[in-house]
Amino acid sequence: MANQLPEVIATEAADAVTEVDAAGAVHLEPSLFGLEPYQIVSVAMLVLIAIMIWKKVPGMVTGGLDAKIAAIRTQLDEAKALRAEAEALRNDYSRKIANAEKDAEAMLEGARREADAILAKAEADSTAMVARRTQMAEDKIGAAEREAVDQVRAKAANAATAAARKLIVAKHDAEADSKLADEVIDGI
C-alpha cells in the first residue's frame, strides 16, 4: 500500500491537460475557461491595471506625492527663512558686543582720566590749602597743621574713593555686558 499512488478523480476537461512524469505519476495542470496558468495571470494583471486606470489610482498617487513635495518645499523655505533670521540676529548681537566692548573701553579710559584729574586737583587743592593755613596759622601753628593734614587726608580719601567707585562700576558693567552677551550667543 505504501507504493500505491492515490487515485485522481477528474472530469473529461481535466483529462486533456494531464502530464505523466518519469515515475508514471499523473499531474493535472489547472485551467480556467480554457486558459493556461500564465494566461490567467496575464488576464488578471490586465484587469487590475484597467481598474487602477479607471479609478484614477495613478493620479491619486501622483497627487499625494505632489502634495508631499509641496509640504517639504514649504518646510525647506521656512527653514531657510529661520536660518536667515538667526544669522541676522547673530550678526546684530556681534555688532552689539563689539560696540559694548568699545563703550566699556571708552568708559574705563574716561574713568582713569577722571581719577587722575581728581587726584591732581586734590593735590593742587591740598597744596593751596597748606599755603593759606601756613600764613594764617603763625600764632596757631600746631592746631592749624593738624587741621590741614586732616582735611588733606579726607579729600584725598574721598577723591580716591570716588575714583575707585567709578572704576569698579565701569569694570563691573563691562564684565556684566560681556557675560550677558556670551550667554545670549550660547543660547542662540
Q: Along the chain (188 residues), what's the average pLDDT of each consecutive run of 10 residues?
A: 58 51 66 80 90 81 88 93 92 89 87 88 82 68 72 85 73 65 79
Q: What gap in Å lies between CA 12 and CA 90, rounded to an integer?
A: 88
| 8 Å CB contact between 17 and 31 | yes
Check residue 17 and give its pLDDT: 46
> pTM to 2 decimals?
0.33
Check residue 137 and give its pLDDT: 59
Q: Which residue has the cell 575707585?
A: 164
Q: What gap in Å lies between CA 156 and CA 117, rounded to an integer?
A: 12
Mark 13-30 as b/e (b = at least 16 C-beta within 10 Å). eeeeeeeeeeeeeeeeee
